Amino acid sequence: VNTNVLVTRTEQFFLDRKRRPSIWLVAPIAVASIAFTFAAVYWPRSFSFGSDSAIAGIGWAAAGIIWAYRLFFLIVTELVKLFLYQLLQAGDIRAFVNRFNLLRNRRKILEERILEDGFETTIKARLDMEKAAAQEEAHSVRLEIDGLKGQVAELEKFKEALKQYFEGSLTASDLKELTL
C-alpha cells in the first residue's frame, strides 16, 4: 500500500528527474518496508497476541516473493496510470469509446455485407459511397471558396472606398453609404 503513494503523486513517471520524490517521502516508505520485512522473517514463534495460536516468521524466500510481487505491481500500476493519463490527455474518454464503438459497428456491417453480397460487390459499393462523399466534400469546398471570393471582393471594394476617402474624393457620409 505504501508504494502507491509514489505512483499516485504525479501524472508522469514516478521516478522522473524533474518530479522524483523527496527523501522525506521515500525514507519512511523504505524504513517501514524494511522493518516489516525483518519482522515478517524473524517473528518469534513463542510470541502471540493473546490467542493460543503462535505466529512464525515466513523466511527469506517468502519475503523475496512478496517483494517481487510488490515491485511487479508497482510497475504495472505505474504503466496503467501512464496509459490512462495519455488517454485522458488525448481527448474526452467518451469520444474515444464512441469512436471505437462506431468503428467496430462499421466493421461488423462490412463483414455482413461481404458475406451477403460477396467481396467484389461490397467493395464496389464502398468505393462508390466514398467517391460520392468526396464529390460532396469537393462541392462544399467550392461553395466555401465562392463565399470567400465574394468576401474578398467586398474587402477590395471597401479598400478602394477607404483609399478614395483618404485622398479626399469621398466624404464620410458617402463612405458610410458604401459600407452599408
Q: Convert the pLDDT of each residue in 109-151 to its tens digit.
A: 877 877 777 777 777 877 888 888 888 889 889 989 988 998 8
For residue 125, the model assigns a pLDDT of: 79
Q: How far is CA 49 from the centre of its chain?
A: 50
Question: Under DSSP, is residue 51 helix (H, G, I), strand (E, B) or coil?
Answer: coil
- Does the predicted TM-score (pTM) go above 0.75? no
Q: What is the mean pLDDT of residues 86-108?
A: 76
Per-residue pLDDT at 154 exceeds 80: yes
pLDDT in tens, 3-24: 777 777 776 776 666 777 777 8
pLDDT in tens, 19-53: 777 778 888 888 988 998 998 898 877 666 666 66
Q: What sign for the dihedral angle of Cα 104, 93, 84, 65?
A: negative
- Greater confidence (177 vs 46) lies with 177
Using pLDDT thresholds of 50, 70 and 90, give the confidence band for residue 65. very high
Cell (9 digits) for 75: 510497475
Cell (9 digits) for 96: 474515444
Using pLDDT thresholds of 50, 70 and 90, give the confidence band for residue 64. very high
Whole-angstrom distance, CA of residue 1 vs CA of residue 23: 18
Average pLDDT over the chain, rounded to an integer? 81
C-alpha pair distances (Å), 127 with each of 112, 120, 124, 134 = 17, 10, 5, 10
